[in-house]
Amino acid sequence: MATADGFAGRLEQRDWLSLAGWLLASFAPGLSGALFQPGTWYGQLAKPPLTPPGAAIGTVWLMLYALMGIAAWLVWRQRGFGGAATALTFFIAQLVANAAWSWLFFGLRLPLAALLELVILWLLVLGTLVLFWRIRPLAGILLLPYLAWISLAAYLNLGVWWLNR
């Protein structure tokens, strides 16, 4: 029996495996963050107001990656790859852009390049959110905290670049 949101009452093993796959894909950009740690360079930079403590950042990303994976899974489950090719391509593109930011900012220590890349990431996340929303509104809603966090990250990145020119 289907529920009000279109889900069947019982999830099959295939559904759980696909959810695990989308979650793994969503957590993959976190590896970039693990490879390129802030370190002493970042610790010595002047930072703008509202900069969250380091421990909070990791916790927020864990929640965001989980929400992203669930959102992608909902879209995939609703339409599959064929029916949601554009939305899922946007999703994968924003994952790549997400990973690239850590490399640019922390790895290469190029805050301005990272900021420009963050604008691209923000646009990709917005596009993904809109495309997901059209297929499955709940999936779009699940990306709202991510878009808000990327917006905060853009402010922080701009602040670090500006204060440390």
For the stretch 76-87, pLDDT in tens is 999 888 999 999
How confident is residue 34, by pLDDT bands cut at 50, 70 and 90?
Answer: confident
Q: Are 124 and 87 in contact (CB under 8 A)?
A: no
Can you tell me the mean pLDDT for 116-120?
97
User: In this predicted structure, what is the pLDDT of residue 1?
Assistant: 42
Question: Could you tell me the end-to-end alpha-carbon distance of the chain, in angstroms, rounded to an integer?
Answer: 60
Q: Which CATH superfamily is domain 14-163 in?
A: TspO/MBR protein (1.20.1260.100)
Task: Give the relative orientation of helices 85-102 and 13-27 as an angle to the nearest 10 degrees.
Answer: 40
What are the CA-CA distances from residue 127 to residues 94, 134, 140 (Å)? Answer: 9, 11, 10
Residue 15: the pLDDT is 81
For the stretch 133-142, pLDDT in tens is 999 999 999 9
Average pLDDT estimate for 138-160: 97
What are the distances in angstroms from CA 41 to CA 19, 45, 58, 75? 37, 7, 18, 40
Q: What is the pLDDT of residue 55?
A: 83
Where do the domains of the chain lie? 14-163
- Rounded to an integer, what distance in angstroms lies between the CA atom of residue 8 and that of residue 33? 37
